[in-house]
């Protein structure tokens, strides 16, 4: 078995373990999710998939597909910890990105399994961790900020975003979009030229995957691509494509090479 195969197997096994633990914890809390405050999306529609009343996972397809993020995040961490890491992208930063991806996946499970306000909080938390990482990473490369300060700035930005999420949950999607758009502009215009030998194609591929994913998300949300009782859900596809997009962002950062004199 090759090293790459071992990593894939380990990431898959760990993902299954995390899935089992997450579902076990949900089983200890639920399945009477109606006793908790509902997610704000229930006022309109929480995507196409019809909630299975009384089930442990109210939206099984949307819940289980979220573990795609967990798999991608674990694979990032395993690669960052390998001895053959040759990238200028610090292994610690790669592990932080992987950890944020795992939080995205688990948070998404908590939302779609419970359709509760606290599930929604953890779902958006992961999105903020990712967008903040992209923004701070681009800013750090552009301005040459030291690794220690980068971690401080990242923690501060995440704290601010979480505080806004807690105080003003209704702006969650708009705030995420603003931070992510700012991160993309900073990366492509200012940071990318300062990354030696970086393969921009990875970043562009990730962006394309995100655009396709968002198109499907929008069609699902509007009910234009919708089969409520099916296990094939547009929002589940959005999750899987989102995990693919994160993976290509990771490959982009990893492709940067150290400057040798």
> What per-residue confidence (pLDDT) applies to 224?
87
Do the domain assignments include residue 124? yes
pLDDT tens-place string over residues 103-140: 999 999 999 999 999 999 999 999 999 999 999 999 99
Evaluate if residue 260 carries a pLDDT over 70. Answer: no
Write down the residue that tokens 């419970």 correspond to.
114
Written as six digits, the tokens of 198 are 């970086």
Cβ–Cβ under 8 Å, residues 19 and 67: yes
Burial status of residue 182 (CB atoms within 10 A of its CB: 0-12, 13-18, 19 or more): middle
Evaluate if residue 177 carries a pLDDT over 60. Answer: yes
Question: At 155, which CATH number?
Answer: 1.20.1070
Mean pLDDT of 148-173: 92
Do the domain assignments include residue 150? yes
> What per-residue confidence (pLDDT) applies to 251?
98
Total number of domains constituting the chain = 1
| Residue ranges making up the domain that contains 119 | 42-254
Higher pLDDT, 246 or 53: 246
> What per-residue confidence (pLDDT) applies to 103?
98
Do the domain assignments include residue 23? no
Do the domain assignments include residue 27? no
Phi, psi of 257 (to 5 degrees): -110, 150
Instruction: Tell me the whole-structure pTM to 2 decimals.
Output: 0.95
Local structure of residue 51 (DSSP, 8 states): P
pLDDT tens-place string over residues 7-24: 999 999 999 999 999 999
Do the domain assignments include residue 20? no
Evaluate if residue 32 carries a pLDDT over 60. Answer: yes
Could you give the percent of the chain with pLDDT greater than 70?
A: 99
Cα–Cα distances in Å, from 231 out to 36, 234, 240?
25, 10, 14
Lowest-confidence pick of 49-63, 169-183, 229-243:
169-183
Q: What b/e sequence results for 42-63 when a residue is b if at least 16 CB atoms lie within 10 Å of its CB, and e otherwise? A: eeeebbbbebeeeebbbbbbbb
Evaluate if residue 261 carries a pLDDT over 60. Answer: no
Cα–Cα distance between 210 and 243 in angstroms, integer? 9
Do the domain assignments include residue 74? yes
Do the domain assignments include residue 21? no
Cα–Cα distances in Å, from 237 out to 79, 106, 206?
25, 16, 15
The H or E element spanning position 90 is none
Do the domain assignments include residue 13? no
Cα–Cα distances in Å, from 238 out to 50, 61, 104, 119, 141?
17, 11, 13, 18, 30
Written as six digits, the tokens of 111 are 């939302």
Evaluate if residue 206 carries a pLDDT over 80. Answer: yes
> What per-residue confidence (pLDDT) applies to 105?
98
Evaluate if residue 258 carries a pLDDT over 90. Answer: no
Cα–Cα distance between 39 and 13 in angstroms, integer? 31
Cβ–Cβ under 8 Å, residues 69 and 109: no
């Amino acid at each position: 078995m090759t090293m790459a195969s071992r990593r894939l197997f380990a990431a898959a096994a760990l993902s299954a373990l995390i899935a089992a633990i997450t579902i076990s914890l949900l089983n200890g809390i639920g399945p009477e999710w109606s006793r908790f405050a509902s997610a704000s999306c229930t006022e309109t529609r929480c995507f196409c998939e019809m909630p299975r009343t009384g089930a442990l996972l109210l939206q099984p397809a949307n819940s289980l597909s979220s573990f795609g993020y967990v798999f991608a995040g674990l694979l990032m961490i395993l690669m960052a910890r390998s001895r053959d890491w040759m990238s200028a992208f610090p292994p610690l930063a790669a592990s932080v990105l992987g950890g944020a991806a795992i939080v995205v996946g688990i948070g998404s499970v908590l939302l779609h399994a419970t359709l509760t306000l606290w599930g929604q909080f953890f779902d958006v938390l992961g999105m903020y961790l990712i967008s903040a990482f992209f923004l701070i990473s681009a800013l750090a490369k552009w301005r040459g900020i030291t690794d220690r300060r980068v971690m401080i700035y990242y923690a501060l930005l995440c704290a601010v975003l979480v505080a806004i999420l807690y105080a003003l949950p209704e702006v969650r999607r708009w705030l995420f979009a603003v931070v992510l758009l700012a991160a993309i502009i900073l990366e492509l215009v200012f940071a990318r030229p300062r990354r030696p030998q970086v393969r921009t194609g990875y970043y562009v591929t990730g962006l394309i995957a995100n655009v396709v994913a968002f198109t499907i998300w929008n069609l699902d949300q509007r009910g234009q691509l919708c089969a409520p009782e099916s296990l094939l859900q547009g929002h589940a596809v959005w999750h899987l494509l989102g995990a693919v997009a994160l993976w290509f962002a990771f490959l982009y950062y990893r492709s940067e090479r150290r400057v040798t004199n």
